[in-house]
Structure 1
């Protein structure tokens, strides 16, 4: 049986791109805070370990306010802190 679904006008078939916290941003945050452990860094910002991991691989949709807090701590713009995920994480 063939697929009979049709795309409604104004609805896009693809989800928006996922973003992940870059490795360079993690290193910058570690330097800015003086924290040596990636897990401790996440804890410092109030993330449980699994949520912190999900943010780093692009599986967690953080709020703009969360992204801005990380960027402010690093002294970088949000656009430099995050990158688009190019594969299924």
Structure 2
């Protein structure tokens, strides 16, 4: 499952601070440095134990996916770019 699909499905996400991942996820995920396995473990435990945090990340992810990847918005942006070409 890709990050966008995970957000849209309301799955809480823990991912790494690499490439465009922080830009894609924004504040809708827990982001950790690559290779920081202790922080990964801590965040997994935190998500398992904190229902409110899980719900907040799920809500933020769904909202972000709807806002950023809405079919009408994306197709409108695509049409705009094509007109510029």
TM range (shorter): under 0.3
Which gives a bigger RCO, structure 1 or 2 (Cα 8 Å, sep 6+)?
1
Compare the two structures and name the one with the higher helix fraction. 2
TM-score when normalising by structure 2? 0.26
TM-score when normalising by structure 1? 0.25
Larger radius of gyration: 1
